Structure 1
Amino acid sequence: MKTKRIVVLISGSGSNLQALIDQVHQDPQVPADIVAVISNRPDAYGLERAKTAAIPAQVLDHKTFPSREAFDSALQALIDTYAPDYVILAGFMRILTADFVSHYHGRMINIHPSLLPDYKGTHTHERVLADGKAEHGASVHFVTAELDGGPVIMQVKIPVLPSDTPELLAARLLTQEHRVYPEVVKQLVNDRIVLGAQGIEVEGRLLTQPLLLANG
């Protein structure tokens, strides 16, 4: 099977990036290479993670561009120099233009800290607690022009505890994000999951609801 080429986009600490690096380096059943890590923030710690793993690390500072469209155009050009099979958003805190998303249709995924379609956007942990929800989770989805609105591939769920604060809830969920994101990438690079004309297909069968990762 062809080794897939992956470009990862980050904005911050890159803990999900690290989970993906560890997977690619350690799991022989993942035929993939992370060929570049690109950050829109020069101070993102994830860049150091990439350098430590001998992965090319690039900075494209969005603040130096006159518009969102100009930044996305330059970002697309930079990504395409690496000829990726997949583009993975790992804490990339930018709203992407429709043209950019369309260019990578079916090849770009994101992880969001909620059980989509609930709690799109930011401050998900605070909102879950404010609403008194019994359950929280993370969703890995294909990226479309609708913010956090693309087809959901897989979710992982955790209970909300009476003692939870937004910080505690976020920390407990993050450990599960580090499980679910690599699992989806493993399925993608092994050609088990594709985004077809009718929706997500898993080994040729149309997915009617998101896959659920068992608690580890």
Structure 2
Amino acid sequence: MLDYDKEADAYDDTRGGEPRAAAAAEAVLGLVPPGTGRLLDVACGTGIVTRRLATARPGLRVTGADLTYGMARMAAVRLPGAIVLADSRRLPFPDGAFDAVSSVWLLHLLDTGEDVRAAVAECARVLRPGGSYVTTVDKAAAHDVGSDVDRVLAPRPRRPAQDAAGAVTAYAEALGLVPAGRARFPGHGQGRSPRGTVADLGRGWFTRVPPGSPLAERFAARLEALPDQDRRRPDPVFTLLAFRKPG
């Protein structure tokens, strides 16, 4: 797992920056009903998406929560007074405190299905009856776009996909949430290039391929043999699912 305290300063520049944030915020808000009053953005990271959620609709009051101090510190600059340090599995808010809850690029980071269930349960708990929960699913799969880079990486060992759409839907439905929509948005600037992927191997991006290991070196050699070393392959397209808490 990456150290997100260390990643915080460079996070936005290496994750598509404002174009990706704009696409994510637009897709989330497309699944949040008009007239929503209070929205909680769980795992808000640097706040780059959260700020856009807060400014896109007049009257929408947005709170961000993140577990990592480095990320929350940056988010607090973007949304002063609206960011809290919090674990998604133990949110420090009362039941029914929010009209909507979002969790963008969170569930894939959690270690076990039990962790994912706990996070979804907390999002459901702090959601008022009639409110909406919106979350990304299938994050890792979105990055496999069928490129030559993906073909090189195909044999790598992978973490189990804790955010698989079917599993997340099952967890949500077990909590009484009702499926309420789906959206997709592009991960602008996140298409892989061979040279950039070699750098990602060296910084531990692929969690089951330790940097400097013989396996990492073999993948690096194959990537270095590909043409167009700095040309980014197609961007990933991410998926959002929406759920409604019956009123």
Q: Could you say which TM-score interval applies, normalised by the shorter chain?
A: 0.3 to 0.5
Larger relative contact order, structure 1 or 2 (CA cutoff 8 Å, min sep 6): 2
Q: With the length of structure 1 as denominator, give the TM-score of the two structures.
A: 0.44
